[in-house]
Amino acid sequence: MNLFREIHRRSMWQVLGIYLGASWVVLQIVDTMAGALSLPEWAPSLALFLLVIGLPMVLATAFVQGGFRDRKPASEPSPGDVQAEVAPEPSAAPAGMAHLLTWRNAALGGVGALALWGVVAGVMMATGVGPTGGDRPSGAGDRISIAVLPFSSAGDDDQSQIFSLGIHDDLLTRLSKIGSLRVTSRTSVMEYREGNKSIPEIADELGVEYVLEGSVLSAGGQVNINAQLIDARTDDHLWAETYNRALSVTNVFTIQKDLAQRITESLSATLLPEEVAAIETPPTHNLEAYNFFLRGHTYFQEGPRSEDFELSIEMYEKAVELDPDFAEAHARLALALGMEYEVQPVGEQQMLDRALAAAERAFELAPDLPETNLALGQYYYTGERNLDLALEHLTRAGQNNLHSAELFHLLGAVQRRKGDLDGAIASFEELVRIDPLSAHFYDDLGGTYGAAARWDAAEAALRRSMALAPRSLAAFYALSLVHASRGDVVAARAVLLEPEEEVLFPYVRWQLDLMTRDFDAAAAHDVGDPYFPAFALDLKGDVAAARPYLDSARVEAERDIEDEPGQALPHAILGYIYAMLGRRDDAVRESSRAVELLPTSVDFFDGPDMVWLKVLTHARLGEVGAALDDLEALVANQPPGHYTTPILELHPGLDPLRSDPRFAELLRAYPTPNVATR
């Protein structure tokens, strides 16, 4: 009871309340800073740990110093009242403790703790350690980088070649599930199949520290695999091993497990028990099914636009026919069907249904298999545009230790459409680390940098793509749009002249001509759709010249909607065509329908295009207020690098809005980063 009276008398309850309230405020500030500065997830936990340590020190100080108790007497003593003199209070602690536990020392300790947290946060920012935001798979931090070069085949026949490639592909898949390794993807290592470069040259181009090379021979019911691990920095062989076993799925996976263990041991890396289990557990015991799976994997790696890609679907179907419980083959079949559906001119619903059935069967057999969740993530992204479910399954695939180019490519695409540009950039940056020779992936990274208005980074990534694939025009197209978004039309035109072969780039030139108000030049470009010359001539004010194009454009847009009624873009285009034709109600209906089908809340990346066309439609109809309402919603809910301040200043379709004070205020309220507004 005396202790509780002392606690109450020394105001310790008040001290506790003040400390907890101040701690809550500090944690809110720390949490905000951690998110804004892209600090590691444990940064707020460190601050909480320091505050927890400080609590007993503050309470001890309050007990020793008497809290906030007023030590003065209630009234001044009278000269004759000896009893009114206040006697010194007995010390509750040794003198040394009283000198140590002072409010001054407590305050200095608090400042020191916050300074310690700030130093740690500053070091993390300076070194770039830690994730940069978004839902990323676990284990995406620092890893030991290794490239597994294509295994040569000791046999000359096609079957031996395919088996060798399949073993190589499968080994890449298994090694990509080891959290301590960053394994270069197949696309990049296949560039060195001929073996014309030295190991140090290869490692330098791929940005890796170690290289594994080997050979495979399958003959007479035996499999022979030779492998050697090389330190690429010194060109020293760390170890070499030869495996000669009876050909069976179990033996192949035993060899892969042994290779993984030898690699991790040699590199002082970590191989967790669950990673060992994932590597050594055969996905099937049916050797014929496994052979079809390997062949399917070889064709699959050629990509959905190759002539042989459909063979991968056939091979996977034969694998699951021979072994209906082959979960990984079901998952790969789903991925192949989904990729085939995505490149079809008009998607075939039957193919999409087959992809879902295969993915669900894989999930039924092995719900935690990374490839299963990868397949479901791809289906929900490609087939249903259900970004939340896609992200859930892709994140689960990463949490189950998949660290592949396929995963990060899909993950970045989903994050970008959900509006998590920082997460998408982080995923695409990891993607080009895994697959450093893929121009296409640098296009994705550069385009995402551009969407985030990180102009210099966008140009660097796109220039890298041009260096890797000078004949691929996607990077030239994207970089021209980057310059246009910054308002530099001269630089945008200059990029279009850079390819070795003369390329018209009609769509980009059409846009640039509109921004410089050269309407005749814009109308002359053969973009392949009558909508574009109609748009340019209408902006020029030449309604008579635009009319023939308008009729053709209307017919084509209406036919597109009949063919694919769920697609938003044809509705948006038809809405603007109706506006040019003076059909006000039809124009508003179609442009509104486009936004309903693809709102920015569902697709942060393409959804703004529908709002943009709705703005232009209202502007063309002379409905300034409605156009400005939609324009404000657009600039407030879009990637900062899309419809930028220079685009809004230069585009002639917005001319009807310029005299309204709201337009100028909108430009001031939403300036484009790193672009000087006029």
Q: Where are the domains of the chain?
A: 2-70+90-127, 144-279, 287-490, 508-669
Helix (H) or strand (E) holding 243: strand 236-246
Residue 318 near residue 290, CB atoms below 8 Å: no
Q: Residue 599: pLDDT band by 50, 70, 90 thresholds?
A: very high
In CATH terms, are 144-279 and 508-669 the same topology?
no
What separation in angstroms does the CA of 635 have from each of 479, 603, 615, 643? Answer: 22, 15, 11, 7
Average pLDDT, the chain: 83
Q: Exposure of 18 by Cβ count < 10 A (0-12 exposed, 13-18 middle, 19+ buried)?
A: middle
Q: What percent of the chain has pLDDT over 70?
A: 79
Query: pLDDT tens-digit profile of 297-307?
Result: 888 888 877 77
| Residue 640: predicted pLDDT | 93
What separation in angstroms does the CA of 399 have from each of 38, 137, 282, 395, 403? Answer: 20, 5, 21, 6, 9
Residue 261 near residue 271, CB atoms below 8 Å: yes
Q: 70-104 as b/e, with b when 16 or more CB fall inside 10 Å? A: eeeeeeeeeeeeeeeeeeeeeeeeeeeeeeebeee
> Using CA atoms, how far apart are residues 264 and 591, in angstroms rounded to an integer?
57
| Residue 129: predicted pLDDT | 40
Q: Exposure of 281 by Cβ count < 10 A (0-12 exposed, 13-18 middle, 19+ buried)?
A: exposed
Class of domain 508-669: mainly alpha
The residues near 487 (Cβ < 8 Å, ≥ 6 apart) are 644, 645, 646, 647, 649, 650, 675
State yes or no: pLDDT of 678 exceeds 70. Answer: no
Query: pLDDT tens-digit profile of 235-289?
Result: 888 888 888 889 888 888 888 888 888 888 888 877 788 887 777 788 899 989 9
> Using CA atoms, how far apart are residues 137 and 431, in angstroms rounded to an integer?
12
> Using CA atoms, how far apart are residues 671 and 635, in angstroms rounded to an integer?
9
Of the options 3.30.1490.20, 3.40.50.10610, 3.20.20.70, 2.40.480.10, the CATH number for the domain spanning 144-279: 3.40.50.10610
Residue 651 near residue 622, CB atoms below 8 Å: no
Please give the full DSSP string across 428-491, using - where no structure is assigned.
HHHHHHHSTT-HHHHHHHHHHHHHTT-HHHHHHHHHHHHHH-TT--HHHHHHHHHHHHTT-HHH
Closest to 643 measured CA to CA, from 616, 617, 608, 610: 608
Class of domain 287-490: mainly alpha
Q: Residue 42: pLDDT band by 50, 70, 90 thresholds?
A: low
State yes or no: pLDDT of 99 exceeds 90. Answer: no
| Range of lowest pLDDT (41-50, 65-74, 614-623) | 65-74
CA quadruple 455, 461, 467, 471: dihedral sign: negative
Q: What is the mean pLDDT of residues 479-508?
A: 86
Place of tokens 């003369």: 502
| Residue 154: predicted pLDDT | 66
Task: Please provide the size of the chain in residues.
Answer: 678
State yes or no: pLDDT of 39 exceeds 80. Answer: no
State yes or no: pLDDT of 127 exceeds 60. Answer: no
| Residue 1: predicted pLDDT | 60
